[in-house]
Amino acid sequence: MTIRTGLKKRLKPGWKKEMRQKLNYEDVGFAKIDHHRIKRKGFPETIFGQGKTPDQTAKIAEKIYSNGQDVLITRTNKESFIAVKSILQNAEFHETAKIIAISRKKQTKKTKESICVLSAGTADLPTAEEAAVTAEFLGNTVQRIFDVGVAGIHRLMNNLKKIKKSKVVIVVAGMEGALPSVVGGLIDRPIIAVPTSVGYGSSFKGLAALLTMLNSCAPGIAVVNIDNGYGAAVMAHLILRK
């Protein structure tokens, strides 16, 4: 297996040799950091920030970074960002996406082909941004088209040409989650549907949107967990670099 463009540049020179000398994973007491993942999966282990203290977050981030890898922290917050930033000065905070990204060098080379991220409403933005920022962190060119839900379908139609230029489409929608079905009937790209927990009452925290997407009558759609913008981005990344 070779490391593809867009990921190689995330590793400091000489990392490969260094890594072989270590074990596949490193035991830091409360966690076994999977340094081997970047080889197996094509992207580094991501830190799921939710439920971790700023201190814990910073500690794991440092460990991974010092190992020669770039670091992505999802579902995190400003407090954790301050803690991480005090150790790793090049950390950046994407507020809407709730993501901290720590890259060795500015990403200048992006993929020629792009991932399109659509969102149905403004309330779906945090999940849509989680997808977009993750995809960019992994080296992909991302095209954002937000607030094009089915209640005003002309907004979608006006953007159809732009959407078709991308090779993979991530569609983020809450409430009734109908957007992926409509998009799926209009384009011939693989669509990754992301239900969000946006809604109330019988949306049952995203269950309604999830079921809608799983039952789509338009084929060429696959679904990830509710609010899982990160997972959608990784899937899109793997499709693009296939």
For its own copies, the binding residues in 22-61 under the rule CB under 8 A are 24-25, 30-32, 34, 36-37, 40-43, 46, 48, 50-51
Instruction: Name the residue nearer to its own copies (CB basis): 100 or 208.
Output: 208
**First-to-last C-alpha distance (Å) of the chain:** 13
Query: Does 234 sit near its own copies (CB under 8 A)?
Result: yes
CA 199/CA 204 separation, integer angstroms: 8
Nearer to its own copies, 88 or 187 (CB): 187
203 binds its own copies (CB under 8 A): yes
> Pick from 118, 149, 163, 229: which binds its own copies (CB under 8 A)?
149
Q: How far is CA 35 from CA 5, 44, 235, in A?
A: 19, 7, 20
Q: Which residues within the stretch 88-117 sit at the binding site for its own copies (CB under 8 A)?
A: none
With contacts defined by CB under 8 A, name the span among 10-18, 81-89, 104-112, 148-156 that binds its own copies: 148-156
Binding to its own copies by CB under 8 A, coded x per residue (else -) over 155-194, reads x--x-----x--xx------xxxx--xx-xxxxxxx-x--
Q: Per CB under 8 A, does 206 bind its own copies?
A: yes
Task: Return all residues near 73 (Cβ < 8 A) that are at least 6 apart.
Answer: 46, 47, 49, 57, 61, 80, 84, 99, 100, 101
User: Computed from CA positions of residues 171, 177, 181, 183, in that sequence, does the dihedral angle turn out positive or negative?
Assistant: negative
Closest distance of CB 89 from its own copies, Å: 26
Rg (CA), the chain: 18
Q: CA 30 → CA 27, 45, 52, 60, 80, distances in Å? A: 8, 16, 12, 10, 18
Rule CB under 8 A: is residue 16 a binding residue for its own copies? no
68 near its own copies (CB under 8 A): no
